[in-house]
A = this chain, B = another copy of it.
Amino acid sequence: MNFDDKYNLYVEEFNSVLADFCSSLDCRPQILCDSLKYSLNLGGKRIRPVLMFAVGDLLGVEKRKLMNFALALELIHTYSLIHDDLPEMDNDDFRRGKPSNHKVFGVGNAVLAGDGLLNTAYSVLLKECKNGSDYISAAEFLCDCAGIYGMIAGQSADLLHEGDTGYNETTLDFIYENKTCKLLICAVVVPSILSGGRCYSELKAFGRDLGLLFQITDDILDVEGSFEELGKSTGKDNEEKKYTSVNVYGLDGAKLRADVLAQRCRTLLEGIDGDGEFLTQLVDFIRSRNR
């Protein structure tokens, strides 16, 4: 099976679980239910579930063990986008080519939709906890990645440094390693925890480098991509003087850094026993993506 087919297969498997989850939602009032489903069904690359399944295949972890972790992770990723798009945060009116949650449902409902998705992620994870202590450890890891020492710390630093007149690499690293990398690290480390810790350190390092690569290619696309390809506004980072790799290293510097990170990702994968071909291709896909 070629890379695209395998990627799409992982996405389909995940989307099928997500569709079941969405049809099981019957909360009231209707606007709450609708706003949750709206953002969950905006599509997207589903990179976190795909990564989790691919690492699961590499380590021999059955997909059924990972499904609810992938679901919880995507719920958390989706809540973070809803809150990030809010006017007083990143102020994005579009997400994946469609109006952001708050543009459709209003800011109040968008705040609650985000809260609802975050809480529901833990409802999904707590059910998994009954399966044993490895599952609890995996849920705790996910929780740490999403929380105030993880993604939220990165979002907070991002907000704090918006509009800074000078840039420095340490701050950029802190923002990216938390805001972007932590959920990608989570995607690749959860299968390791569920396999008794196989290749834990290598996968953690791989998740970090892949996360940085992902974010830097995002920055490059913000300069070189188009609204049509990306489904969101471009050129915003520079206008708003955001802390981005392009603003810190320049466009060529960011591209060079992306190449170095992609190479580091490949080397880390070579050090792991098993069939790492798909993940290696995924690294190349992320480096060369245009959306």
Contact = CB atoms under 8 A, between A and B. Distances in A.
Interface of A: 25, 27-29, 31-33, 36, 79, 83, 86, 88-89, 106-109, 111-112, 114-116, 118-120, 122-123, 125-127, 129-130, 133, 136, 139-140, 143-144, 146-149, 152-153, 155-157, 159-160, 174
B144 A123 contact: yes
Is the contact region of chain A dominated by helix, strand, or loop, or is it mixed?
A: helix
A28 B174 contact: yes
Contacts of A147: 116, 119-120, 123
Given A27-B153, A112-B156, 11 more contacts: A27-B148, A29-B157, A31-B156, A32-B148, A32-B152, A88-B108, A112-B155, A115-B152, A116-B152, A122-B143, A126-B126
A114 B89 CA distance: 14
A156 B118 contact: no
A126 B148 contact: no
Copies of the chain in the assembly: 2
A86 to B, nearest CB: 6
Given A111-B86, A159-B109, A126 B116 contact: no
A148 to B, nearest CB: 4
Contacts of A126: 125-126, 129, 136, 139-140, 143
B130 A136 contact: yes
A127 B133 CA distance: 11
Nearest to A27: B148
A276 B148 CA distance: 40
Nearest to A145: B119
Contacts of A25: 148
Contacts of A109: 156, 159
Nearest to A127: B140
Contacts of A116: 147-148, 152
Contact of A88 (B111, B136, B146, B149): B111
B115 A88 contact: no
Contacts of A123: 140, 143-144, 147
Contacts of A155: 112
